[in-house]
Amino acid sequence: MELSEHFTYRKLIKFTIPTIIMMIFTSIYGVVDGIFVSNCVGADAFASVNLIMPALMILGSIGFMIGTGGSALVSKTIGEGDKKKANEYFSMLVYLLIIIGIILTLIGVFVIKPASRLLGADDNMIPDCVTYGTTIILFLVAFVLQNCFQSFIIVAGKPTFGLIVSIIMGLTNMFLDFLFMYVFKMGVFGAALATGISQLIGCIIPLVYFIHNNDGTLRLVKAKFDGKVIIKSCINGSSEMLTNLSMSLVNMLYNIQLMKYIGSNGVVAYGIIMYVGFIFVGTYLGYSVGTAPIIGYHYGAENTDELKSLLNKSLKLILVTSFIMTGLAEILSKLLASIFVSYDVELLEMTTRAIRLFSLSYIISGFNIFASSFFTALNNGVVSGVISFLRTLLFQVAMILILPLILGLDGIWLAVVFAEILALIVSFVFLKLNKKKYHYA
């Protein structure tokens, strides 16, 4: 299916389904990782992994920024009819990521221990934090490239290929989790090693494809570094960068607040919410990532009727999906919690309630995720960045600090719901203000 086609509901769903499944499947193997850590190593190790995870995501977020921002620029360039320049842009951004990944690896290895203490890890948690974090950082180049390739595979018109790569990654990670933690009893080191190896596979397969892809839309070629293109890509992808940075910082704040209110059990419960949330939010992310190259192409080709059609269809699809996602999360909350902590009745009950309250956000978050992605695809990184900054950082930080003073522990779980409501207002204001500029009204 070509980006230049007219997308009906059926074509839109068919084109984005592989990316949605890819995101969900990626989330599922992350969930399996958590299940093995919690059940094979224990709640303390699980809390340690979730405490250090936000710092690791900050290091890896550069891949999301270059991937989403660069893919929007490359899609627009293809829409303008210049495939040679598009390949040069794509190649330059890949080479840039390799260099940045190496630099961040060297920095990360030295800061992981002080970062663990800064995030609130006690003496019992420090060893697991350092072991898990250091092992993941050693695979950082593969991590950032794998994140970047997720977007560019779609630009190349190969979403099914991206799905296949994700399935291979997921199955590898799950098998190695079982082998390293259940059979060989390697603890959190085994969990990190399994994740790192799967990311390496997710990097190498697309890399080989783009090196030898002589007939497709994108391939790796010789390229010179272009500062303007790098800056433009970074601005375009700033919302995704901000989203990942903000989520990581907010996760840190959640953990600090939970340690203050109820101790390490709160960190465990929040970690489970995050694993569960990856699956549900992954649906929205998959759709947004899947549609971004289409939107970018038609924006570059000045097909305003198609832009209007894509926006209207997307909002309707997200509306239906939001009710389904929220309903499923509420119904399955106890089952999902029990997969992780069935061995502790008190922790199970607290986690179940936390999931039910937190999951109310799913009825709103899809619109905000798509709105930010929509402006990224239109190469308007400023608006996209503002939406992401307010949604994932400013509003959430305010709610995390204020609501617990009013509602106690429930206020922490409901913070994201109130933040998404405020962000929804901002998203629709920006959509209304920019409709004449982009002619999608």
Answer whether residue 98 is part of any domain.
yes
State how far the Cα of 201 lies from the Cα of 169, in Å rounded to an integer: 6
State how far the Cα of 142 lies from the Cα of 153, in Å rounded to an integer: 16
Q: Is pLDDT of 47 > 90?
A: no
Specify whether the CB–CB gap between 137 and 108 falls below 8 A: yes
Count the domains in the chain: 1
Question: 86-95, 202-211, 253-262 — which is least confidently predicted?
Answer: 253-262
Answer whether residue 1 is part of any domain.
no
Task: Specify the residue for token string 């992780």.
Answer: 340
Per residue in 198-213, pLDDT (tens digit) is: 999 999 999 999 998 7
* CB neighbourhood size of 319 (10 A): 12
Answer whether residue 4 is part of any domain.
no
Answer whether residue 167 is part of any domain.
yes
Q: What average pLDDT does this structure show over 391-420?
A: 93
- The pLDDT assigned to 39 comes to 83
Listed residue (381, 362, 363) closest to 372, CA to CA: 381
- The pLDDT assigned to 1 comes to 66
Q: Is pLDDT of 421 > 80?
A: yes
When pLDDT is cut at 50, 70 and 90, the band that residue 195 belongs to is very high
Answer whether residue 421 is part of any domain.
yes
Answer whether residue 2 is part of any domain.
no
**Residue with the larger pLDDT of the pair 116 and 30:** 116
Q: Is pLDDT of 232 > 90?
A: no
Q: How far is CA 288 from CA 185, 198, 323, 329, 362, in A?
A: 39, 24, 17, 21, 15
Specify whether the CB–CB gap between 342 and 39 falls below 8 A: no
3-state helix vs strand vs coil in the chain, percent to 5: 85, 0, 15
Answer whether residue 399 is part of any domain.
yes
Per residue in 269-326, pLDDT (tens digit) is: 898 898 888 888 989 999 998 898 899 888 888 898 999 999 999 999 999 999 999 9
- The pLDDT assigned to 216 comes to 66
pTM of the model: 0.75
Answer whether residue 14 is part of any domain.
yes
Residue 215 belongs to what domain range?
A: 9-438
